[in-house]
């Protein structure tokens, strides 16, 4: 009997990647074989992104590519772009099924409904009315050593530029026992590191106040066989001295903090409706460094927010330089219909955005080299993840520095003590097994 095949294309964030893995397991349980998106398949699932116009465009292109690959396949558009713009996605003639950011666990039922009448079906509900975490879960991560664990969904912040609350709905936290069960499963499958992820993980537990993010991390830290815990993006206000002190006491917590910034100008932060000032942000960084002197600090920075002046951009440039981030995700403001900032006056010219992004990128490169150089000569524990095409193994330290080492030993999946060395202009450290 011919096996059924499904191909996945996942766009956007780590949460989308997790959701796709959960959907893959649903298909596998029904006898489907997971194949590359570029292969001929019976079903194609495009897990869409809508953070920027580029995400929308990539989603549309992937859906049309799927139809070209197999005109007889069932084409499923899933996720954020579908949720916020269902009428737009419905007009894409290649699309057979539309599923937003809810009811994805019923995807096999929806495919059968389409196969009955061969008519386009849309399953997009009012996500803003949702109050329960969708029961998507994984039993074994597709990765080699690191597994992403989704702990919450949604965001209540409504920053003026961001479409995500409209795509993902309000905060819904995953039950603590369910999170712990999933971590135990992936550890039993051989994963030594987990990354706790979500749309706004600092909001974990706010609906019922029965628990919070730090309590969850403390519980995960007790799981036998787990060696490392990482966190997704955090807002600076969450990290009080009390909370950081509790994280410091944990055996497996990795000192890598991704602190969302967006802008280093207080006037821009105010227009964005971010809930902190640069002074408050700096105080959080000082606290982190007092507990974790070797912590890696990474962040997101937006350029070209409506009305951003040259002076405000210079303030951002000076601020990120003062903080000394290890890495920055730099992106250009993208107007999203339905958000307040889309109607703000003084939209910034694209050429200006490009120039500012380039200047920030040069700053990021310099800061990255400085952080790598600071770690030169240290003996660090490295979790080796995979062998590269050139035969060299690559892994990461606890503070998320990539380390590459040439060896004939089979070290993937192992944590080894390594003496690391800085080499000019590389974006990793070289290592010698200690």
For residue range 334-375, list pLDDT tens digits in order.
999 999 999 999 999 999 999 999 999 999 999 999 999 999
Task: Give the closest residue to 272 by CA, choosing from 232, 310, 300, 239.
Answer: 300
Indicate if the pLDDT at residue 208 is higher than 90.
no
CA separation for the pair 335, 284 (Å, rounded): 30
| 410 within domain boundaries | yes
* pLDDT value of position 209: 81
Indicate if the pLDDT at residue 412 is higher than 80.
yes
Last residue of a domain, one of 85, 105, 125: 125
Which of 67-81, 132-146, 155-169 has the lowest average pLDDT? 132-146
| 427 within domain boundaries | yes
Indicate if the pLDDT at residue 1 is higher than 60.
no
| 340 within domain boundaries | no
User: Residue 238 has which token pair?
Assistant: 């969450």
Q: How many folded domains does the chain comprise?
A: 2
pLDDT digits (tens, 9 = 90+) for 216-250: 999 999 999 999 999 999 999 999 999 999 999 99
* pLDDT value of position 111: 96
The domain in which residue 13 lies consists of 4-125
The pTM for the full model equals 0.93
Task: Determine the length of the chain.
Answer: 434
C-alpha dihedral, 327 to 197 to 248 to 375, nearest 10°: -20
Q: Which percentage of the chain shows pLDDT scores above 70?
A: 98
CA separation for the pair 22, 14 (Å, rounded): 13
CA separation for the pair 136, 377 (Å, rounded): 43
DSSP states of 167-230 as a string? Answer: HH-S-EEPPHHHHHHHHHHHHHTT--EEEEEESSGGGTTTTT-S--HHHHHHHHTTSTT--EEE
User: Where residue 434 falls among pLDDT bands split at 50, 70, 90?
Assistant: low
Grouping H, G, I as helix, E, B as strand and the rest as coil, residue 383 is strand
| 120 within domain boundaries | yes
pLDDT digits (tens, 9 = 90+) for 2-53: 689 999 999 999 999 999 999 999 999 999 999 999 999 999 999 999 999 8
pLDDT digits (tens, 9 = 90+) for 78-115: 999 999 999 999 999 999 999 999 999 999 999 999 99
Beta bridge pairs of residue 384: 395
| 249 within domain boundaries | no
pLDDT digits (tens, 9 = 90+) for 319-336: 999 999 999 999 999 999
CA separation for the pair 173, 289 (Å, rounded): 29
Q: Judge contact between 375 and 422, C-beta under 8 A.
A: yes
User: Residue 347 has which token pair?
Assistant: 């939209």
Grouping H, G, I as helix, E, B as strand and the rest as coil, residue 274 is coil
DSSP states of 303-348 as a string? Answer: E--TT--HHHHHHHHHHHHHHT-SEEEEEE----TTSGGGG-SSPP
Residue 247: its H or E element:
helix 241-248
Note the helical H segments in 85-195: 86-90, 107-117, 164-168, 176-188
Positive or negative, the CA dihedral 141, 146, 150, 154 is: negative
Close Cβ partners of 159 (under 8 Å, ≥ 6 residues apart): 262, 272, 273, 274
Report how far apart, in Å, the C-alpha atoms of 394 and of each of 323, 326, 413, 415, 416 are: 28, 19, 11, 12, 12
* pLDDT value of position 389: 75
User: Where residue 314 falls among pLDDT bands split at 50, 70, 90?
Assistant: very high
Q: Judge contact between 171 and 200, C-beta under 8 A.
A: yes
CA separation for the pair 314, 307 (Å, rounded): 14
Indicate if the pLDDT at residue 131 is higher than 90.
no
pLDDT digits (tens, 9 = 90+) for 256-309: 999 999 999 999 999 999 999 999 999 999 999 999 999 999 999 999 999 999
Last residue of a domain, one of 67, 90, 125: 125
| 65 within domain boundaries | yes
Close Cβ partners of 158 (under 8 Å, ≥ 6 residues apart): 165, 273
CATH number at residue 422: 2.40.50
| 80 within domain boundaries | yes
| 44 within domain boundaries | yes
* pLDDT value of position 143: 59
Average pLDDT in the chain: 94
User: Residue 322 has which token pair?
Assistant: 């003062």
User: Whose structure tokens read 């059924």?
Assistant: 4
User: Residue 83 has which token pair?
Assistant: 């949720």
CATH number at residue 58: 3.40.50.12160
| E-assigned strand segments in 11-154 | 32-35, 43-48, 74-79, 97-99, 121-123, 146-153
* pLDDT value of position 193: 96
The mean pLDDT value for 129-152 works out to: 84
Report how far apart, in Å, the C-alpha atoms of 297 and of each of 16, 253, 418 are: 23, 15, 22
Last residue of a domain, one of 78, 97, 125: 125
pLDDT digits (tens, 9 = 90+) for 374-384: 999 999 999 99
pLDDT digits (tens, 9 = 90+) for 144-201: 678 999 999 999 999 999 999 999 999 999 999 999 999 999 999 999 999 999 999 9
Grouping H, G, I as helix, E, B as strand and the rest as coil, residue 13 is coil
């Amino acid at each position: 009997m011919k096996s059924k095949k499904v191909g996945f294309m996942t766009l956007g964030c780590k949460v989308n990647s997790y959701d796709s893995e959960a959907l893959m397991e649903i298909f596998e349980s029904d006898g489907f074989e997971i194949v590359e998106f570029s292969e001929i398949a019976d079903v194609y699932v495009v897990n869409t992104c809508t953070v920027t116009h580029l995400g929308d465009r990539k989603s549309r292109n992937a859906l049309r590519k799927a139809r070209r690959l197999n005109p007889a396949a069932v084409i499923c558009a899933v996720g954020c772009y579908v949720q916020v713009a269902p009428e737009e996605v419905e007009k894409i003639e290649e699309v057979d099924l539309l599923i937003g950011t809810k009811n994805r666990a019923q995807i096999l039922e929806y495919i059968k409904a389409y196969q009955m009448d061969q008519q386009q079906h849309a399953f997009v509900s009012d996500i803003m009315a949702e109050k329960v975490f969708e029961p998507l879960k994984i039993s074994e991560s597709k990765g080699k050593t690191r597994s992403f664990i989704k702990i919450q969904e949604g965001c209540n912040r409504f920053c003026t530029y961001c479409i995500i609350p409209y795509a993902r709905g309000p905060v819904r936290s995953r039950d603590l026992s369910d999170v712990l069960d999933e971590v135990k499963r992936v550890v039993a499958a051989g994963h030594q590191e987990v990354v706790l992820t979500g749309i706004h993980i600092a909001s974990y537990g706010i609906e019922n106040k029965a628990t919070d993010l730090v309590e969850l991390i403390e519980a995960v830290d007790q799981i036998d066989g787990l060696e490392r815990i990482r966190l997704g993006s955090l807002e600076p206000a969450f990290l009080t001295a009390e909370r950081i002190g509790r994280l410091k006491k944990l055996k497996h917590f990795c000192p890598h903090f991704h602190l969302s910034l967006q802008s280093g100008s207080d006037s821009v932060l105010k227009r964005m409706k971010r809930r902190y000032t640069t002074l408050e942000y700096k105080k959080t960084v000082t606290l982190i460094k007092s507990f974790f002197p070797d912590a890696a600090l990474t962040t997101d920075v937006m350029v070209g927010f409506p009305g951003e002046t040259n002076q405000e951009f210079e303030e951002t440039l000076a601020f990120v330089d003062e903080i000394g981030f290890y890495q920055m995700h730099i992106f250009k403001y993208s107007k999203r219909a339905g958000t307040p900032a889309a109607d703000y006056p003084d939209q910034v010219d694209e050429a200006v955005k490009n120039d500012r992004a380039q200047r920030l990128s040069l700053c990021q490169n310099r800061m990255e080299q400085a952080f790598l150089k600071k770690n030169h000569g240290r003996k660090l524990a490295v979790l080796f993840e995979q062998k590269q095409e050139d035969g060299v193994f690559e892994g990461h330290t606890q503070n998320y520095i990539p380390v590459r080492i040439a060896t004939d030993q089979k070290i993937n999946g192992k944590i080894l003590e390594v003496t690391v060395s800085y080499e000019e202009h590389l974006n990793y450290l070289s290592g010698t097994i200690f």
